[in-house]
Amino acid sequence: MSIIPAPIVRFYHKMASPPHFYSFTNKLLPWLIVICLILLGTGLYGGLYLAPTDYQQGDSYRIIYIHVPAAWMSLFVYMVMAISGGIGLIWRIKLADVVMISSAPIGASFTFIALVTGSLWGKPMWGTWWVWDARLTSELILLFLYLGVISLYGAIEDRRTASRAVSILALVGVVNIPIIHYSVQWWNTLHQGSTVTRMDKPSIHIDMLIPLLLMATACKFYYAIAMLQVAKVELLVREQNTQWVKKIIEDKV
């Protein structure tokens, strides 16, 4: 007897169907966009105007409302990409491959933003744009992993072969994720330790914390929106010779 409820199993099988996934995505996207805009507007207003000035860093600390969510998302998106790649390798689910490759450019963008904003923040705090700090270096390696996945997928003409190859690369690269997360604990680095995810309590004022969490949630919704949009295009390309795609084209024509 299965421990997974039947409705969840049925939903899972439906979402593995490309036509159902495409239709469901079209209905879901408007809601995601509205929620994302509300969270983004509220988070930015709270972080840039309502949050108090830091007694040490002044207003320069407000870059955390971009830097920290982008850094969190760089790890989150990579894990989604690797898990999707693993599912695609094991169960040969086409949509898992689509989610994986659609996530790569978005994750690379978040990683790039994290590195750039980190450098902008590091200049007034550390006196330099860049140091070969364990956290910064491992985050840079993460960017190269994303770019490697994108380049490898584009270099192989057959999409199924390309999906298998980049899935293996993504899974191998997972070893870098705990290195990024625990680097400030394992090595003596300039990068500050965790202030939000501490086990006892966050060492950040609640008026600063709430906008930060709102921005982080907004970034997750943005990722879902961007990934689904890219996935729809990737799915149409892969399924271009099927009847359901031809019907969509005929309806629009």
Q: What is d(CA 107, CA 25) in angstroms, rounded to the nearest whole number? A: 20
* Residue 108 near residue 150, CB atoms below 8 Å: yes
CATH number at residue 156: 1.20.120
Mean pLDDT of the chain: 90
Retrieve residue 106's tokens: 């978005």
More confident residue, 55 or 45: 45
Query: Within a domain: residue 2?
Result: no
CB atoms within 10 A of CB 157: 7
Reported as a pLDDT band with limits 50, 70 and 90, residue 249 is confident
Q: Which amino acid is at 94?
A: K
* Residue 104 near residue 199, CB atoms below 8 Å: no
Query: Within a domain: residue 190?
Result: yes
Which residues constitute the domain of residue 229? 23-252
CB atoms within 10 A of CB 48: 12
Q: What is the pTM of this model?
A: 0.92
Retrieve residue 35's tokens: 């929620």
Query: Within a domain: residue 6?
Result: no
Query: Within a domain: residue 3?
Result: no
Q: What is d(CA 37, CA 219) in angstroms, rounded to the nearest whole number? A: 10
Q: What is the mean pLDDT of residues 30-54?
A: 96
More confident residue, 16 or 233: 233
Retrieve residue 226's tokens: 């961007």
Query: Within a domain: residue 13?
Result: no
Q: What is the mean pLDDT of residues 168-172?
A: 97
Query: Within a domain: residue 114?
Result: yes
Report the range of poorest mean pLDDT among 12-21, 59-68, 198-207.
198-207
Does position 200 have pLDDT exceeding 60, yes or no? no
3-state secondary structure the chain: CCCCCHHHHHHHHHHCCHHHHHHHHHHHHHHHHHHHHHHHHHHHHHHHHHCCCECCCEHHHHHHHHHHHHHHHHHHHHHHHHHHHHHHHHHCCHHHHHHHHHHHHHHHHHHHHHHHHHHHHHHHHHCCCCCCCHHHHHHHHHHHHHHHHHHHHHHCCCHHHHHHHHHHHHHHHCCHHHHHHHHHHHCCCCCCCCCCCCCCCCCCCHHHHHHHHHHHHHHHHHHHHHHHHHHHHHHHHHCCCCHHHHHHHHHHC
Question: How many domains, the chain?
Answer: 1
Does position 187 have pLDDT exceeding 80, yes or no? no
Q: Using alpha carbons, list the distances in angstroms from residue 202 to 38, 171, 205.
A: 25, 31, 8
Does position 20 have pLDDT exceeding 50, yes or no? yes
DSSP 192: -
Q: What is the mean pLDDT of residues 89-117?
A: 96
Query: Within a domain: residue 226?
Result: yes
Reported as a pLDDT band with limits 50, 70 and 90, residue 6 is low
Query: Within a domain: residue 240?
Result: yes
